[in-house]
């Protein structure tokens, strides 16, 4: 697993990626604390391989988390504290978002 600075190093494919794209509402409203807590909590789940996140000054953000398989993703989605964060995300933090679950088939890095 990886939550440290620098790009995430993942094992050889296949594995899964959850691509979360979002548009934040204005103001923190507890968002930063929640985001940090969700990384801490999710990275403890079996099958977690890493997470990468970027958000521009316009409030548009992309977070990609990497997982061994779909069962790991489902288990994390059902986590009680995560479900509460999902609810607050829908109601407060995100003006819009899309979640995509994808199977990584090939990967390569800088030579």
Q: Are the C-beta atoms of residues 8 and 50 closer than 8 Å to each other? A: yes
Provide the minimum distance between the beta carbon of 83 and a copy of itself in the complex, in angstroms, as a whole number: 14
Binding site for a copy of itself (CB under 8 A): 6-8, 10, 13, 17, 19, 21-23, 52-57, 60-62, 64, 90, 94, 96-111
Q: Which is nearer to a copy of itself, 58 or 80 (CB)?
A: 58
Q: Which is nearer to a copy of itself, 33 or 102 (CB)?
A: 102
Q: Which is nearer to a copy of itself, 45 or 97 (CB)?
A: 97
Provide the minimum distance between the beta carbon of 44 and a copy of itself in the complex, in angstroms, as a whole number: 22
Provide the minimum distance between the beta carbon of 90 and a copy of itself in the complex, in angstroms, as a whole number: 6
69 DSSP 8-state letter = S
Cβ density class 32-67: b for 16+ within 10 Å, e for less: eebbeebbeebbebebbbbbeeeeeeeeebebbbbb
- Residue 13: asked if its preceding bond is cis (omega within 30°), the reply is no
């Amino acid at each position: 697993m990886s939550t440290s600075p620098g790009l995430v190093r993942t094992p050889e494919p296949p594995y899964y990626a959850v691509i979360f794209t979002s548009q934040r509402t204005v103001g923190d409203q507890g968002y930063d604390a929640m985001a940090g807590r969700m990384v801490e909590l999710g990275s403890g789940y079996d099958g977690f391989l890493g997470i990468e996140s970027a958000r521009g000054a316009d409030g548009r953000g992309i977070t990609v988390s990497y997982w061994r398989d779909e069962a790991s993703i489902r288990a994390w989605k059902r986590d009680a504290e995560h479900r509460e964060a999902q609810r607050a995300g829908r109601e407060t933090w995100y003006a819009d978002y899309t979640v995509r679950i994808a199977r990584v088939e090939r990967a390569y890095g800088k030579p």
